[in-house]
Structures are given as C-alpha cells and as structure tokens.
Amino acid sequence: MGKADRIGKMFGRTMAYYLCTSFLAILTGLLLVNIIQPGNRSDLAITVATDSVVKSAEPISVMLFSQVETMIPTNPLQALAEGDFLSIISFTLMFSLSALLVGGKTLATVRDGAQAGFQVMMKMTMAVIALAPVGVLFLMLNATALNGTEVFQPLAWYMLTVLLALLFHACVTLPLIVKFLARRNPVEFARAMSPALLTAFSSASSNGTLPLTMASVEKRAGVKNETSSFVLPLGATINMDGTALYEAVAVLFIAQHTLAEPLSLGLQITVALTALLVSIGAAGIPHAGLVMMVIVLQAVGLPLEMQGLILAVDRVLDMFRTSVNVWSDSCGCAVIARFSDGNTGTSAT
C-alpha cells in the first residue's frame, strides 16, 4: 500500500510539472508572437472570409464553455466522418479509461488492437510525410512565382519568433525550475544531459531519444532508476513544451497573415488551451506537431489549408522543439527526484 501511495504521489507531481511547464511555454510563445507579430511583417496577405472564424464578440466564459461542449461526443462515428478531433480525443480517452476499469483479457485485447492500429497508421503517416518535401517544393515555387521573394519575409520572422520563444523557455524558464525546485546547478545538469539533447536535435524524435535520455539522467545526472523509469517514458508521451509553444505561435502567425483583424483575447485563450491538449496527445515522432495543429486551427475556425504556409520551415523548427521537449522531460525528472526522495544528484563532469 505504501508503494502504491508513493507512485500515486509521483504521478500527481509529474502531471502537475508537465502541465505547468507546457502552459508556461505556451504563454511565452503567445507573448512573443503578439509583440513581434511575424504575420504582419509583409505587405502580402492571404485574406480569408472571417465568417468561418469563431465569433470573438462572445464573452470568454461562453467561448470556453462552447469549446468544452464540443469536446463531448454525441456520435463518435459522425465525429470521425466530419474530422471533429476534439470529440474524437474525448471519446478515445473515455473508451481507454473504461477499458482500464474492465481490465483482464478485455484490456489486453483492446491494448493489442490499439497498438496494431497505431503501427499501421504510423506507416501510412510516414509515407505521406515522405512525399511532403515534393509538395512543399511546388507550393513554394508557386508562391514565389506569384509574389516574388517577398513571400519568404514573414516566414523568416515566424522562424525567429519560434526560436526566440524556445530559447527563452529552454534557457530561462526551465533552468530557473532546475535551480529552485530541483536544487541543482542548471549548467552542470545541462552538461550531463548534452548527449540526449544533441540526439534529440538530430533525430527530431522524443521517443527515439528516450533510451539515451534515461541513460544520461541516471548515469551522468545521478537520478535513481525508479524515478527516471516512471517520469521519462510518461514525459516522452505527454510532455511536449516545445510542441505546445510551436502550436500556439504557428496558429497566431497564420491568423495574423490571413485575417484582417487580430484574434481576440478569448480566441487566444482557446488557442492556448487547445494547444496544451493536443501537445499531450502528440506522438514523439518527427512532424507530430504539424499533424496535430489541425485541431488548433479547427478550434478557432481558421482554414486548414493555411497550414501550408509553414510547411517549408517545419523540419528545422522540429529539431529545436524536440530538443526543448527532451530538456523539459529531463528537468522534470530532476524535480520529481528531489521531491520524491530528496535526491539532488551529482552531474558528471
């Protein structure tokens, strides 16, 4: 009973850390995108009808309630047919929790079926992603032919905004957390985690980096295996600080570039909450954030095809945001280790 209680407390602390850091990352991104306004840095604009955009005149409480209401599935099959992703996610969560409560052979069957379906869908998704560079090439050729090289100016500002936000979160927010919550030297801890961070940058995959992340945390940073083996796999699945930040900045950039009026505070709150939700559900694979962005665009009524604006630079940004994801997981592991067993570890030199 004592072990179960300890695991329960560790789970609660881990979830609290992951949700808080992801939300801080989103706030950082929203602040910088509103200050820099990369979507307004060019005379070029792709105007779309504002009728499809969620009405901004409604009170924030009404808008948030409306978003919560859309998450309650009335017909799962209809949600699948219409691409209502929030309802699909909600139904999947309820179905999974119900399967856990049933347990036994039923749970094993559901788990095996879900794993098989995931592998098949991943194979299909990666095949589509493999063809994406060809589509991006012709998309950019068409845009350049119509508008000249000026089309790249807002993209450059967009990249700068995302990179500055990621840099602030990785070099200011997370080190402060390590310093005051984990009671460690952030520079030494970063040095200990450098093999995992470099691998995350080159592979753009949190899941692919997980074994090296665990090895670095345990052998180089001195965190116990019982903590790292619980916190890091969970973090690789649901803790995506960089992805959450990227989703929020990208959607506001698209809104700035395509709408005559800026998104209201209420809609930006909707973007923040939806970005937090989809970052939890994003897979730890390359371009996962780009795939999940459809949900955030849909939440505020922006045209899904506008996602093509940022395809050309997504791969580069994916490498940086994956590194931030892994760095946040590692910092979280140090924080949970300190609160679970008082471990402040020793970093390798």
Let me know if residue 156 belongs to a domain. Answer: yes
Let me know if residue 131 belongs to a domain. Answer: no
**Which domain CATH number covers 254?**
1.10.3860.10
Q: What is the pLDDT of residue 349?
A: 43
Q: What is the pLDDT of residue 199?
A: 94
Let me know if residue 233 belongs to a domain. Answer: yes
Let me know if residue 275 belongs to a domain. Answer: yes
**Cβ atoms 1, 327 nearer than 8 A:** no
Let me know if residue 88 belongs to a domain. Answer: no
Residue 37 lies in domain: 8-75+147-341
Let me know if residue 115 belongs to a domain. Answer: no
Work out the pLDDT band at 118, boundaries 50, 70, 90: confident
Mean pLDDT (the chain) is: 84
Work out the pLDDT band at 257, boundaries 50, 70, 90: confident
Give just the sign of the alpha carbon dihedral 18, 165, 35, 295. negative
Let me know if residue 130 belongs to a domain. Answer: no
pLDDT tens track for 141-181? 776 776 666 667 888 999 999 999 999 999 999 999 999 99
Number of domains in the chain: 1
| 1 has pLDDT over 70 | no
pTM of the model as a whole: 0.82
Let me know if residue 86 belongs to a domain. Answer: no
In order of 6, 209, 234, 238, 257, the CA distances from 231 in angstroms are 13, 14, 5, 11, 39
